């Protein structure tokens, strides 16, 4: 038996899709007239991952008839049929003898346009035993969330549903690289359906398994409900899915935080003082549905002044992301500057009292985003409510929109913005109307 580089979990019943696709197994449900499983197989071939093992349960013969041994698709396919559903983790354990030392795990209800070579490189470079793709999404409240340290190492999993807003919007995207040795370490004490994300990974983490989080803004979406399937098809047809490829220069709308995304309430040092603008979620949702990334760039002098800890700021941003998720929106990244040169505050942090390149009007946060996301700055916009925002956009070389209320309240500005609008929603609508 040839040991497989890829295992595709395709045993689901597709219950949520059955009304729209009766008597069709989930792996054969079409995405723009092509079965989702065919898309996954073509992606594997594109990256020379040719030995594929597909786990089946519901209507297996129709799937085997469509794909055969894989030769017509340029790959080699083997099948494992579950007599009774084992759960995703149970299925992996059942086929562990047929997998290579490092193998890719895909789900047959997840559409992706992700550079697998970069994912494999990340796995090797981090010396990880398991690597999982993570990203923010527009429904974190019912997704499995991942908590990482500064070295991209997973330290905790938070399973859905979530009862509070204290967890960062970093979602397990259901694509994994695993070392086969990890399956040998996973010992179960009873036979039952077991889930990879909710059962296997937390157990392996407890025994010290090195699980690394590969954060990416590349396109990867669950299409397991009719609504989500339509969204994926629209994103493909509108060029959204391919716009996020690593190989492409990307576009971004940069967003100031206080006075743009949320009400300005002095120097916000506690999450209880944070309140989103009513239209902020709708505005950012429009960005998410476009070819632009949504990136927050915010000065936070409260850190240097000693009025807020890094942990406090993290809780504020977790609340912001969670509440955006309730509106069906998300931020691709948040950059913040902790510095401030003014001194004389009680409890101030002297190490943060420095001149830096990241505090707006300097362009440092935008420059970091350009490097991190392969951004074409000339096609980008910054929406903000202050002279510092407009100057940062000018210094970085991108377009800008100043919110009109700030013109009245804060007086003249050094650089003219590209445009002015009343609020974040009008600003985003204007930008997208030009595209």
Classify strands 76-81 and 30-31 as parallel, antiparallel or unpaired.
unpaired
pLDDT (0 to 100) of residue 411: 54
pLDDT in tens, 34-90: 999 999 999 999 999 999 999 999 999 999 999 999 999 999 999 999 998 889 999
Q: How far apart are CA 101 and CA 219, in angstroms?
A: 27
The CB-based long-range contact list for 238-246 (8 Å cut-off, 24+ gap) reads 238/291, 239/291, 240/289, 240/290, 240/291, 241/111, 241/113, 242/113, 243/291, 244/113, 244/217, 244/218, 244/219, 244/293, 245/113, 245/115, 245/218, 245/219, 246/115, 246/118, 246/216, 246/218, 246/374
Catalytic residues: 256, 258
pLDDT (0 to 100) of residue 358: 98
127: left (phi over 0), alpha (psi -120 to 50) or beta: left
pLDDT (0 to 100) of residue 22: 78
pLDDT (0 to 100) of residue 345: 82
Through-space distance between the first and last CA atoms of the chain, rounded to whole angstroms: 52
The residues with which 221 forms a beta bridge, in sequence order, are 111
The CA dihedral of 114, 248, 294, 427, to the nearest 10 degrees, is -140
pLDDT (0 to 100) of residue 372: 97
| Pair 330, 137: CB distance under 8 Å | yes
pLDDT (0 to 100) of residue 385: 94
Encoded tokens for 308? 């807020």
CATH 3.20.20.80 fits 249-434, yes or no: no
SS3 sequence of the chain: CCCEEEEEEECCCCHHHCCCCCCCCHHHCEECCEEHHHHHHHHHHHCCCCEEEEEECCCHHHHHHHHCCCHHHCCEEEEEECCCCCHHHHHHHHCHHHEEEEEEEEECCEEEECCHHHHHHHHHHCCCCEEEEEECCCCHHHCCEEEECCCCEEEEEECCCCCCCCCCCCEEEEEEEEEHHHHHHCCCCCCCCCCHHHHHHHHHHHCCCCEEEEECCCEEEECCCHHHHHHHHHHHHCCHHHHCCCCCCEEEEEECCECCCECCCCCCCCHHHCCECCCHHHHHHHHHCCCEEEEEEEECCCCCCCCCCHHHHHHHHHHHHHHHHHCCCCCCEEEEECCCCCCCCCCCCHHHCCCCCCCCCCCHHHHHHHHHHCECHHHCEEEECCHHHHHHHHHHCCEEEEEHHHHHHHCCCCCCCCEEECCHHHHHHHHHHHC
pLDDT (0 to 100) of residue 167: 81
CATH 3.40.50.300 fits 4-222, yes or no: no
pLDDT (0 to 100) of residue 265: 86
pLDDT (0 to 100) of residue 1: 67
pLDDT (0 to 100) of residue 166: 78
Residue 238: partners with Cβ closer than 8 Å, 6 or more residues away: 291
Phi, psi of 282 (to 5 degrees): -65, -40
Mean pLDDT per 10-residue segment, the chain (435 residues): 91 74 87 96 97 95 97 97 92 94 96 97 98 93 90 92 80 96 82 87 95 97 90 95 95 98 92 96 97 98 96 96 93 97 87 96 98 97 96 98 68 81 97 92
pLDDT in tens, 387-407: 999 999 999 999 999 998 644
CATH 3.40.50.1000 placement within the chain: 249-434
CATH 3.90.550.10 placement within the chain: 4-222
């Amino acid at each position: 038996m040839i040991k497989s580089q890829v295992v595709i979990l395709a045993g689901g019943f597709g219950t949520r899709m059955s009304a729209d696709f009766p008597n069709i197994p989930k792996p054969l449900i079409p995405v723009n007239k092509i079965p989702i499983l065919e898309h996954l197989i073509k992606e594997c071939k594109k990256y020379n991952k040719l030995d594929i093992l597909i786990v089946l349960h519901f209507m297996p013969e129709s799937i085997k008839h469509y794909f055969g041994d894989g030769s017509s698709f340029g790959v080699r396919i083997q099948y494992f049929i579950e007599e009774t559903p084992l759960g995703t983790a149970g299925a992996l354990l059942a086929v562990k003898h047929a997998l290579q030392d490092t193998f890719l795990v895909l789900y047959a209800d997840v559409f992706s346009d992700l550079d697998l070579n970069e994912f494999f490189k990340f796995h090797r470079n981090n010396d990880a035993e398991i690597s999982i793709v993570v990203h923010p999404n527009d429904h974190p409240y019912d997704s499995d969330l991942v908590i990482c340290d500064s070295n991209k190492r997973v330290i905790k999993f938070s399973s859905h549903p979530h009862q509070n807003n204290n967890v960062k919007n970093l979602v397990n995207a259901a694509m994994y690289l695993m070392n086969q040795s990890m399956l040998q370490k996973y010992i179960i004490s009873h036979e039952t359906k077991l889930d990879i994300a909710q059962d296997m990974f937390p157990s392996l983490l407890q025994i010290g398994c090195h699980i690394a989080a590969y954060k990416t803004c590349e396109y990867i979406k669950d299409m397991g409900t009719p609504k989500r399937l339509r969204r994926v098809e629209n994103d493909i047809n509108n060029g959204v899915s391919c716009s996020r490829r690593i190989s492409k220069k990307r576009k971004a709308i940069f967003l100031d935080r206080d006075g743009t995304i949320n009400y300005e309430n002095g120097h916000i040092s506690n999450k209880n003082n944070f309140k989103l603008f009513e239209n902020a979620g709708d505005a950012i949702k429009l960005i998410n549905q476009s070819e632009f990334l949504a990136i927050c760039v915010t000065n936070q002098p409260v850190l240097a002044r000693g009025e807020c800890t890094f942990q406090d700021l993290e809780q504020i941003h977790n609340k912001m992301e969670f509440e955006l998720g309730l509106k069906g929106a998300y931020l691709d990244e948040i950059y913040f500057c902790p510095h401030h040169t003014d001194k004389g505050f009680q409890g101030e942090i002297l190490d943060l009292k420095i001149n830096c390149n990241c505090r707006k009007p300097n362009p440092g946060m935008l420059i970091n985003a350009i490097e991190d996301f392969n951004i074409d700055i000339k096609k980008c916009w910054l929406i903000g409510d202050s002279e510092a925002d407009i100057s940062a956009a000018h210094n970085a070389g991108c377009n800008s929109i100043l919110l009109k209320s700030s013109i009245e309240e804060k007086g003249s500005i050094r650089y003219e913005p590209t445009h002015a609008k009343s609020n974040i929603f009008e600003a985003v609508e204007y930008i997208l109307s030009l595209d």
